[in-house]
Amino acid sequence: VSSAFLFAILPIVVGGGLLFYRRDDGLRTYTSVALALFLAWVAWQIPIDIVMQLGPFSIEIAPNLVLFGRNFTLDETQRVLLSLIYLAQSFWLLGALLTKVSRLFAPISLIAVGLLVAALSVEPFLYAALMLAAVVLISIPLLVEPGSAAGRGVQRFLKFQLFALPCILFTGWLLTGVEASPGNLNLVLRAGLLLALGFGFLLGLFPFHAWIPMLAREVNPYVFGFLVFFLPGISAIFSLSFFDRYIWLRSNSGIHQLLLYAGSLNILLTGLWAAAERHLGRIFAFASMAATGAMLQAIGVSGAAGVQTFFALLLPQALALWALAVSNSQFWREVRSLQLRELQRSLRLHPLLTLAMLASLLAIAGLPFLGPFSAHLSIWRALGERSVLVLVVSLAGSLGLAAAAVRILYSWVGPAQKSPPLPVRKDELGRVLPPESDMANPYVMIFFAGWVFLMLGFGVLPRFFLGAVPSLAAMFPQLFP
């Protein structure tokens, strides 16, 4: 069996099959969790391109799959990443059980992750843009459930994400010309501009970010969180492939400086917007944009240190975005408006989820002892060496995000406000039940304990918890020799 079949095609086929399963008995989610965990285990335990003897059977996962004359390659160096992707997917699926998200979430998210893995495996790697476009298209039924009308956020999401596709495909063609004549400055400039435009659309960077806060206001925060974690995450890894592949990109210090500045600008603006925002979903959106900005900064650190910083940031930020999605989704189920002035009752009913949400915002802002801190420290050091002004800009953005967390904290513990009553819960017999607090929900307690353990682990013991980072960086042999 080939690795691309196992990690890309199998989830797409199983997800597609589960779409046709009509009963609402949880089988779709449990099957998807089981498959995601199985694939995470296989990627972790079974080497690629080595024959293994299991009793009378011999197993070999081949690294190549040829489809329509093109290679889909997932080799030994990508095993850790595959394991983490499917582990993350199982976390998102388990979270879906907690937040009771749409029935389509399990199959569609499985197909989306399969397509994202296909994006990482296709050669030439530029064709990944086509897979990312397919992920955008398939995610629409998750964003707009039957019976509801789509808003302008969904429309912009669709347009802006699809705009990236022509830009990146054309860049690929231009880059082959640049390789042939690296001295042609006009060609380099055009390729660079198209590349920046493509990734600007793909990552939702300023000024192509409008869809992110709009979408956060319109759709289920859990689905939104899934998209703003996986799409920019995989797109950023895709962007690293460009640096690994093209020497003129990785050897150009101006481009790295530009990435540092663009990331810092993104963090500053999102921080300022978040500080002034009173809608919880939009604060989540700005936090996700700040996380993307930080990833851009990490790539801008350049060289082996840059790749390591990138992965050291990606893992804890994934955890923070997941917690933000879980908590926001719970609050959204109780108070659809997600306006802070109406949320006090809900925040007080769910102290653990509120704490996880606050800590996640502060973690993305770069607070010490929380997951992404060590990566932020490397970024800030690199920024300080290049320009103190840009470092101050980046820190001001982080401060804005922290101010948003303080605003939520004030809504939680501040003076009592007139918030609307929470929806009434009923049992099977129609009897009214009291609102379910976090303290009475064992699933929330398990989620919170596990989350705190990992977030503090990443922050306090990064050498142990981020031990997989060098293996992840090894995916890019030119950047991390």
Partner 1 sequence: MQSSFIGSVVVALIALTSIYLLINREWRWAIAGLGLQYLWAFLLITPSWPVELAAVKLVTGWIAASILGLTRVNLPDPPRETLITLPTGRTFRVLAAGLIILVVAGSAPRLTDWTRAIGINQAWGGLLLIGIGLLQLGLRAGFFRTAIGLLTLFAGFEILYAAVESSTLVAGLLAVVNLGIALVCSYLLIAPSLEAPE
Burial code (b: 16+ CB inside 10 Å, e: under 16) for 337-370 equals ebebebbbbbbebbbbbbbbbbbbbbbbbbbeeb
Measured from the CB of residue 154, what is the shortest distance to partner 1 in angstroms? Answer: 7
Tell me the two tokens of residue 479.
């950047």
Site for partner 1 (CB under 8 A): how many residues? Answer: 34
Give the 3-state DSSP-derived string for 137-182, with helices as H, strands as E and coil as C.
Answer: HHCHHHHCCCCCCCCHHHHHHHHHHHHHHHHHHHHHHHHHHHHHCC
Measured from the CB of residue 207, what is the shortest distance to partner 1 in angstroms? Answer: 15
- Which of 457, 169, 450, 456 minimizes the C-alpha distance to 326? 450
Let me know: does 161 contact 202? Beta carbons within 8 Å.
yes
13 binds partner 1 (CB under 8 A): no
Figure out which of the listed residues 19, 158, 305, 392 binds partner 1, where binding follows CB under 8 A: 158
Tell me the two tokens of residue 164.
């990236």
173 vs 369, beta carbon nearer partner 1: 173
147 binds partner 1 (CB under 8 A): yes
Burial class of residue 254, CB neighbours in 10 A (0-12, 13-18, 19+): exposed
184 binds partner 1 (CB under 8 A): no
Residue 59 φ/ψ region, left for φ over 0, alpha for ψ in the -120 to 50 degree band, beta for the rest: beta
137 binds partner 1 (CB under 8 A): yes
173 binds partner 1 (CB under 8 A): yes
152 vs 381, beta carbon nearer partner 1: 152
Measured from the CB of residue 169, what is the shortest distance to partner 1 in angstroms? Answer: 6
Tell me the two tokens of residue 17.
């099959």
Figure out which of the listed residues 55, 56, 146, 254 binds partner 1, where binding follows CB under 8 A: 146
CA distance 380 to 408: 26
Among positive and negative, which fits the CA dihedral 58, 63, 67, 68?
negative
Binding mask 60-89 for partner 1 (x = CB under 8 A): -------xxxx-------------------
Binding mask 23-62 for partner 1 (x = CB under 8 A): -x--------------------------------------
454 binds partner 1 (CB under 8 A): no
Burial class of residue 271, CB neighbours in 10 A (0-12, 13-18, 19+): buried
CA distance 235 to 161: 11
Measured from the CB of residue 339, what is the shortest distance to partner 1 in angstroms? Answer: 24
253 binds partner 1 (CB under 8 A): no
141 vs 414, beta carbon nearer partner 1: 141
134 binds partner 1 (CB under 8 A): yes
149 binds partner 1 (CB under 8 A): yes
Give SS3 for 424. Answer: coil
Measured from the CB of residue 163, what is the shortest distance to partner 1 in angstroms? Answer: 8
The region of 3-11, 43-51, 52-60, 163-171 touching partner 1 under the rule CB under 8 A is 163-171
> What DSSP assignment string belongs to 65-90?
EEETTEEEE--GGGHHHHHHHHHHHH
Measured from the CB of residue 210, what is the shortest distance to partner 1 in angstroms? Answer: 13
- Which of 404, 164, 168, 161 minimizes the C-alpha distance to 267? 404
Measured from the CB of residue 424, what is the shortest distance to partner 1 in angstroms? Answer: 17
155 vs 387, beta carbon nearer partner 1: 155
Binding site residues, partner 1, CB under 8 A: 24, 67-70, 102-103, 127, 130-131, 133-134, 137-138, 140-141, 144-150, 154-155, 158-159, 162, 165-166, 169-170, 173, 177
